[in-house]
Structure 1
């Protein structure tokens, strides 16, 4: 009897100690970045245009090359079935609503069914094989998620429950998002999403892709138009399925980084680099921005930097059109000043073509002219911890405070990286100081160079241990 009592008391004490320990060490409800993301580079894949067939099988065949490009995350533009009602076709700037039976493919951002795959891209077996192959190469797969709106003939519009998710007009009809020309999509009612069932339905649709098809995260279209409360909620749900989930917001809102999103678009920085290339701004503008960035966003935030993406290419112009001869200099700036770099499919071939947004328009790959350049840049991001994403890297310290030359250092005690970029269209004289023990990345002669051509650049690095 005494032995039983003793065992009971011991078990109670152990349980109390265990419970107390859990309370003392349990982590707060905070966003934790996936471990694999700390030095990751993103590659945006436009499946429709990536190959002549526009299929996932063809895209899968290119994964070995993308591994050689040293990218880590494959972001697939929307792969859902596309709506037919109010479908857009034609040219980017001269588009129109097509007639029934048209061969126009429409906008991939007009989603008909969140839990289905566009048959033009292949079967579920093809998709799962793509994800599995990417994982075998050590790469992750995220898919584009269009949560703000759907196609007018989306699956949700076929019953009264689904229709309750939409923001209807005075005639109780579907309507496009206000203030846009997105006439091919219908606005969802996010203001009442918690009570009308939209939160639950959208959350389940996103969870489906993680649970059933092993994807690693989402790039969330126009994320600022969806309540942060939903993003916070769905992040927690997705983490319960896959703790290493990754979320990218097409937005530039600091609060998105509190709990929901690992990464967001560095839109303002992108627009500044375009203006620098045109001579409308200069290196001082970039330095001022970097100071604002540090004040505005938490150090833990991943900020995605880029010279092009699908929107910029189709609507604003190719990288060559917007940057001219400064493309590589701006890519080096994006890859080293701060942030998480993005490469858009075709960028490694210096694609100078505005891809058609609503029609088939295969990327002209050529000879992959800039493959080596971007591989070197991505390798730098992997190799040197000072260049890693968010708080895993180190902030840039400006070594010169004015003039056309950007000269900055990122150092974390293990590695020191110095970057020099002539952000002007004229030759400049500049002697980079303090390079003892450094090696140059692109051209060893740059260690002793004092005259820098327009848009010239170099990355110097050394180990500190």
Structure 2
């Protein structure tokens, strides 16, 4: 009996081994293979109550208590969703109410509300233990108005003369005081060298993997060219993610020549947030964004795609305004963002999903108790697919069908082909695909469906309204009757053995 039981126990293992394996080849992880979880440090997790100075959770413009220890405590939570990189808002010492990190008063110190330099080192070390990378926000355009340099007569030429930005000429953008913040004169060799030294300080002290560069268009390109070359000498493969706040891809792409590796993709954000926050919207403009990116950028597959961030209304808020279920809308938007070319960037709280209007309402404290199970599972699946199927990070991106909110795309890399189907329409849709090889099947990775080739040679793909799926194209081997027969035989033998033993036990009982 024990032998039969042991044989029965291995059946699930045999079934598992019979499933199709992933198409991924094990290759070194490049930056385009990453997925980023973006955290506003003060609003994420309070891990150390001893640094809660002037904390007031009722004031949306005050410190709320989040710190570096809190992020360390939640690294496994982030990793469990499949993210490979975290990006933090600036952790440098800020002036009063600089909870967001952008009002710097000391470029070489950790803000006391966030912890210490030892905490920063430990955060990077703990992330690296989990095979995760860390990006720090780095600001060179301005300081806080209470920075000691502002009142130092010897450093008067460290700033441009005070003037508001009234237009969009490059001179005004680079020399004016953004939001009234003192504008650093990066043309001054002393300022430039200090900022270079500050960058070296953070890299050497913490072993951080990259910087997200704030307000790039407000700093001359000449500075960025020198800065990029400098930090990449300091650390090999150091990553620079630039923020050029513009919807013009040609304008953003011009900064690629400076050596900045990637940019937060505002053209993508504009169309994706609008398209997916309501049902029935066409995906035409979204695909146009990709076509333009290919035209203007040398490395379009490394652009940072996002649905919302700390400077814009949360995606959930847009969906609610449109009287739509934000979870349903996020499923569509996230599926497209993770499967189209680029590095997906997910703003903390998307998995809740947190609501929030204009700044600072879009920077509420994270609510870990309310995380939506459907969204966290989806993020885990999407991240797992990116790791397993190289077509989703390295492959081309071609439109197969796009009409009235229903779109189908194909990505191919070497022998791996993936089909992405997004039905943003308000009704069920179907389309027959003919641009695929014979004797294949499309296996759905999100909804678990199988699409086989029809007699006319096409593959008919149907989708319920407001749903999305990602299919791997693989050989259709039909049903494995040999294996099914084997399993059936084992089950039959098990049942027979149980029956025989049962009869024998009854006979023994009767005789006694």
User: TM-score, structure 2 length as denominator?
Assistant: 0.71
Given the alignment of the two structures, is residue 380 of structure 1 paired with residue 385 of structure 2, yes or no? yes
Aligned residue number for residue 254 of structure 2: 255
Q: How does 1:131-280 map to 2 (within 5 A)?
A: 131-169=124-162, 183=179, 185-190=181-186, 193=187, 195-251=188-244, 253-277=252-276, 278=278
Distance across 1 between alignment mates of 2:216 and 2:425: 35
Given the alignment of the two structures, is residue 447 of structure 1 paired with residue 451 of structure 2, yes or no? yes
Instruction: State whether residues 42 and 72 of structure 1, in contact with CA within 8 Å, keep that contact through their aligned partners in structure 2.
Output: yes
Task: Name stretches of at least 5 consecutive residues in structure 1 with no aligned partner.
Answer: 1-33, 85-103, 170-174
Task: Name stretches of at least 5 consecutive residues in structure 2 with no aligned partner.
Answer: 1-27, 47-64, 168-175, 453-459, 476-512
Aligned residue number for residue 408 of structure 1: 409
Distance across 1 between alignment mates of 2:361 and 2:403: 44
Distance across 2 between alignment mates of 1:358 and 1:164: 37
Q: How does 1:54-453 map to 2 (within 5 A)?
A: 54-84=66-96, 104-169=97-162, 183=179, 185-190=181-186, 193=187, 195-251=188-244, 253-277=252-276, 278=278, 282-299=282-299, 302-313=302-313, 317=317, 321=321, 324=326, 325-354=328-357, 357=360, 361-369=364-372, 370-388=375-393, 393-432=394-433, 434=436, 436-445=440-449, 447=451, 451-453=462-464
Higher alpha-carbon deviation: 223-232 or 252-261 = 252-261
Are the structure 2 counterparts of residues 149 and 314 from structure 1 closer, same or farther at C-alpha, using a change threshold of 3 Å? Answer: farther
Q: CA RMSD in A?
A: 2.9
Deviation by residue 1:265-288 (Cα, 9 ceiling, x = unmatched): 221121112332447952222233
Query: What secondary structure does 1:135 align onto?
Result: helix
How far apart are 1:339 and its partner, in Å? Answer: 0.8
Are the structure 2 counterparts of residues 177 and 77 from structure 1 closer, same or farther at C-alpha, using a change threshold of 3 Å? Answer: farther
How far apart are 1:341 and its partner, in Å? Answer: 0.5
**Structure index of larger Rg:** 2
Are the structure 2 counterparts of residues 69 and 176 from structure 1 closer, same or farther at C-alpha, using a change threshold of 3 Å? Answer: farther
Are the structure 2 counterparts of residues 213 and 235 from structure 1 closer, same or farther at C-alpha, using a change threshold of 3 Å? Answer: same
Instruction: State whether residues 313 and 319 of structure 1, in contact with CA within 8 Å, keep that contact through their aligned partners in structure 2.
Output: no
How far apart are 1:120 and its partner, in Å? Answer: 0.2
Instruction: State whether residues 148 and 222 of structure 1, in contact with CA within 8 Å, keep that contact through their aligned partners in structure 2.
Output: yes
Tell me how many residue pairs correspond in the alignment: 400
Distance across 1 between alignment mates of 2:157 and 2:39: 34
How far apart are 1:375 and its partner, in Å? Answer: 1.0
Aligned residue number for residue 41 of structure 1: 35
Distance across 2 between alignment mates of 1:424 and 1:181: 45
Query: What secondary structure does 2:83 align onto?
Result: coil
User: TM-score, structure 1 length as denominator?
Assistant: 0.78
Instruction: State whether residues 306 and 334 of structure 1, in contact with CA within 8 Å, keep that contact through their aligned partners in structure 2.
Output: yes
Distance across 2 between alignment mates of 1:160 and 1:105: 25
How far apart are 1:201 and its partner, in Å? Answer: 1.7
Instruction: State whether residues 177 and 186 of structure 1, in contact with CA within 8 Å, keep that contact through their aligned partners in structure 2.
Output: no
Query: What secondary structure does 1:371 align onto?
Result: helix
Aligned residue number for residue 503 of structure 2: none
